[in-house]
Amino acid sequence: MTVRVASSDVPRALDVIREQGIVAIVRAGSPETAATSVATLIEAGLRAIEVSLVTPDALNVVRDAAAEAPSGVAIGVGTVLTSAEVAAAAEAGARFIVSPVFDPEVVRGAVEARLDVLPGVATPTEAVSAVRAGATAVKLFPASLWTPMALDEVRRALPWLETVPTGGVSPTTAPEWIRAGATAVGIGSALTRADDPAVAARSLLDAITRARK
């Protein structure tokens, strides 16, 4: 297996996620729709885009997007559940891995493949365990089980914890999560299924920027 390794002048995926504060999630019923969504989101200015494995032929969508995207854009693979899927994502050119759960083998595989990895966690105990296992950051999932206030309280005890709340986060609530200390937010259908995804993406970017001031 050949794993593509980013050159030293390409920013780390986590740095891209930190800078923009958004992981845009693409889930689609066909590879063509997914590819169109990825291209639209990149054109709108989003630079961290996760293609979920629930999308048919997702890895080929990732392969094409990773080959064509500017160096400042990080294409990742989501809904990763096994170490074999990590290896396949790495081979396709993904720069980060996202999972709905915390599996030490998935985290280990991503670390070995030199990919940033964001496993899903639902409790502070899971979050700390994931980071100790090598997680780059943690996907707070589903965020609908939490509140920004709860995240703020957790980060008072764990100020170093980098979180990406996902699942139930909307463009309206995204700034609240950022103000509570989230590194970024994960948002999918609110962007890809908007009447004008490009306008929705730019509006969200503006909201995140204002929330950080």
Catalytic residues: 50, 139
Give me the residue label for tokens 């995207």.
Answer: 69
CA–CA separation, 162 vs 12, rounded Å?
15
Amino acid making up residue 161 = L
First and final C-alpha spacing in the chain: 45
Tell me the C-alpha distance between 72 and 180, whole Å: 27
